[in-house]
Structure 1
């Protein structure tokens, strides 16, 4: 028992004298300043998230991403690119101060400082105000990061011919073969090329032949004289079989492009 103003009597020690009601507080005295988390604030967050999700799905349906075939580590001519959300880091590595002898700056130091600064922004600018002009440090750092990412991503993307790249590396649908085994050149391909370039020309020990831009004469020359890591004299057959092999590769690529 406590004497004086605010005297309280507790009959059961298991019941807290400070127990409050579970009824939410009345915020009508503070219009526009605060609100109950449930359901007011949470409902607004759900509505905003739903609008963003629907917009994103519409964008995906209207402009699907150009997918490529399975990566081939043996193809030295293939230029790998990261997904679009990492293109800004890829572009950063093209600059002299973030590549070559300074590559550690490009892959660790600069990104580490940038993302670390965003984590520290709320602690560097911890004023009570919520308006942008009242949080100059946090807003400035966020705008700098946003502009940098957008600019680097745009600069990297504008130098890539995405349609040509996707067409050259077009994946073969599973279960759908583009190889005509009745073609006269298939036997020559099976004897001399299949073990390295795969049954669907998808590559294996050697690079993929799907998407090749070589002419018939160039294919015949490569089959006999080799190129890059491919040694010479891989083809064993007659001149007629060599021509049939080149025709087979060209016609298979045409079928894959359709």
Structure 2
């Protein structure tokens, strides 16, 4: 059969027609609803980011950072305080059933459940409505998270001993302490380090001994008789000769 003028091609409806690439409509067809990503949208994002960056830089220049003295591993009485965005977790670890023998609950279980709920949010609530009342699961979860984080952060700031924290973190003048001397050995043997710190700068419950101009007689009296109610009597355990040696050492370090 020769191809001629009267030949017709008939398509079989049972064979699906392969759809080609359908380009999306141009953004200009949606007036006031969308815009080009480059440069319109991206430029606006950069401008907003630049404003926040400049504002942050101005705040860091205007406000002096709250620096503290160098960390001392011998300071057993130091009260730590994390940055503000971790205060709620810090407060959580103060409760009986989230710390101590139950620390796994406060460090792993509760944060794990919170982050797990956040990861599963798209499957827990698959509604398309934007009204909060129409999406009770997502709304309730978000409200619980906001209230919990806000309350724990507030409680952490209220219960923290800011006065003691300011004293223990205060930057003081460095002094050269001969830690190999007999006086420092007596200072350490009588457990003075736990209150006054290894550098004698008040890293624990006790005050700093640096720059106080303490007299040897006063140091000996305090070491033997104490200072109620913070320091009990009988802290020093040694002979009178050792007490005099300790007092002279502390007095020498305390000179301005």
Q: Shared fold (TM-score greater than 0.5)?
A: yes
| Separation in structure 2 between the aligned mates of residue 44 and residue 221 of structure 1, nearest angstrom | 71
Superposition CA RMSD, Å = 4.5
Deviations 1:31-64 (A, max 9, x none): 3433332223322322332333333333333444
Partner of 2:252: 248
Q: For residues 38 and 124 of structure 1, do their structure 2 counterparts lie closer, same or farther at Cα, with a shift above 3 Å needed? A: farther
Q: Say whether the 8 Å CA contact 2:201–2:207 is kept in structure 1.
A: no
Following superposition, the deviation at residue 113 of structure 1 comes to: 0.5
Following superposition, the deviation at residue 145 of structure 1 comes to: 1.9
- Structure 1 stretches lacking a partner, 5+ long: 5-17, 253-258
Q: For residues 163 and 35 of structure 1, do their structure 2 counterparts lie closer, same or farther at Cα, with a shift above 3 Å needed? A: farther
- Structure 2 stretches lacking a partner, 5+ long: 1-8, 11-19, 226-230
The 5-angstrom pairing of residues 124-163 of structure 1 reads: 124-128=124-128, 137-162=137-162
Q: SS of the residue aligned with 1:220?
A: helix
| 1:60 and 2:60 are equivalent in the alignment | yes
Q: Say whether the 8 Å CA contact 2:125–2:137 is kept in structure 1.
A: yes
Q: How many residues align?
A: 220
Q: For residues 107 and 187 of structure 1, do their structure 2 counterparts lie closer, same or farther at Cα, with a shift above 3 Å needed? A: closer
Q: SS of the residue aligned with 1:193?
A: helix
Q: Which has the higher contact order (CA 8 A, sep 6+)?
A: 2
The 5-angstrom pairing of residues 172-211 of structure 1 reads: 178-179=174-175, 191-193=182-184, 207-211=198-202
Question: Which is worse superposed, 106-115 or 214-223?
Answer: 214-223
Larger radius of gyration: 2
| Separation in structure 2 between the aligned mates of residue 165 and residue 120 of structure 1, nearest angstrom | 40
| 1:93 and 2:97 are equivalent in the alignment | no
Following superposition, the deviation at residue 147 of structure 1 comes to: 2.9
Q: Say whether the 8 Å CA contact 2:98–2:105 is kept in structure 1.
A: yes
Question: Which is worse superposed, 163-172 or 188-197?
Answer: 188-197
Q: Say whether the 8 Å CA contact 1:223–1:235 is kept in structure 2.
A: no
Q: Say whether the 8 Å CA contact 2:186–2:242 is kept in structure 1.
A: no
What is the TM-score normalised by the length of structure 2? 0.62
Partner of 1:10: none
